[in-house]
Structure 1
Amino acid sequence: MSALHLIRHGAVAELKLDNPAKLNAFTLEMLRAVEPICDELERDPDIRAVVITAEESKAFCAGADILEWSELEPFDFARHWVREGHRVFDRLARLSKPVIAAINAHAFGGGLEFAATSDIRVMAPKATLALPEASVGIVPGWSGTQRLIRLLGEPMVKEMALFGRRISADRAFAAGFVAEISDDPKALAFEMAGKLAGKSARAVEVAKYMVHAAAGEDRSAMIEALGAGMISPTEDRDEGVTAFREKRKPNFSGKET
Structure 2
Amino acid sequence: MSGVRFEQRGRITELRLDNPAKMNALTVEMLGALSAHLERIERDPAIAAVMLTAEGDRAFCTGADINGWGDLTPAEFARHWVRDGHRIFDRLARLSKPTLAVLNGHAFGGGLELAAACDLRVMAPKAALALPEAGVGIVPGWSGTQRLLRLLPEPMVKEMALFGHRIKADRALACGFVAAVDEDPRAAALALLERAVTLSPRAVEVAKTMIHAAQGEDRAAMVEALGSAAIAATDDRAEGVAAFRDKRTPDFSGK
Q: TM-score, normalised by structure 2?
A: 0.98
Q: Report matched runs for 1:75-224 at 5 Å.
A: 75-224=75-224
What is the CA–CA distance in structure 2 between the aligned matches of 1:181 and 1:29, rounded to whole Å? 31
Amino acid at match of 1:253: S
1:67 Cα offset (Å): 2.5
1:14 paired with 2:5, answer: no
What is the CA–CA distance in structure 2 between the aligned matches of 1:79 and 1:170, rounded to whole Å? 37
What is the CA–CA distance in structure 2 between the aligned matches of 1:120 and 1:250, rounded to whole Å? 46
Contact preservation (8 Å) 1:97, 1:205: yes
The more displaced of 58-67 and 106-115 is 58-67
1:252 paired with 2:252, answer: yes
Q: Gaps spanning 5+ residues in structure 1: where?
A: none
What is the CA–CA distance in structure 2 between the aligned matches of 1:62 and 1:86, rounded to whole Å? 17
What is the CA–CA distance in structure 2 between the aligned matches of 1:88 and 1:103, rounded to whole Å? 19
The more displaced of 190-199 and 201-210 is 190-199
Contact preservation (8 Å) 1:23, 1:57: no
Amino acid at match of 1:198: T
Amino acid at match of 1:155: P
Give the equivalent residue in structure 2 for 1:66: 66
The more displaced of 75-84 and 128-137 is 75-84
Q: Report matched runs for 1:45-60 at 5 Å.
A: 45-60=45-60
What is the CA–CA distance in structure 2 between the aligned matches of 1:191 and 1:72, rounded to whole Å? 42
1:252 Cα offset (Å): 1.2
Q: Deviations over 1:145-202 (max 9, x none)?
A: 0000011021111111111110111111111111111111111111211111111000
Give the equivalent residue in structure 2 for 1:231: 231
Give the equivalent residue in structure 2 for 1:39: 39
Amino acid at match of 1:11: R
1:57 Cα offset (Å): 3.5
What is the CA–CA distance in structure 1 between the aligned matches of 2:79 and 2:170, rounded to whole Å? 36
1:51 Cα offset (Å): 0.2
1:245 Cα offset (Å): 1.1
1:241 paired with 2:241, answer: yes
What SS does the corresponding residue of 2:7 show, helix, strand or coil?
strand
Q: Deviations over 1:1-44 (max 9, x none)?
A: 20011111110000110000000000011111222111100111
Give the equivalent residue in structure 1 for 2:23: 23
What SS does the corresponding residue of 2:151 show, helix, strand or coil?
helix
What is the CA–CA distance in structure 1 between the aligned matches of 2:205 and 2:94, rounded to whole Å? 11
State the superposition RMSD in angstroms: 1.0
What SS does the corresponding residue of 1:152 show, helix, strand or coil?
coil
Contact preservation (8 Å) 2:235, 2:254: yes
The more displaced of 75-84 and 7-16 is 75-84
1:80 Cα offset (Å): 2.0
How many aligned residue pairs are there?
255
Amino acid at match of 1:186: R
Q: Deviations over 1:194-235 (max 9, x none)?
A: 111111000000000000000110111111111111111111
Contact preservation (8 Å) 1:16, 1:55: yes
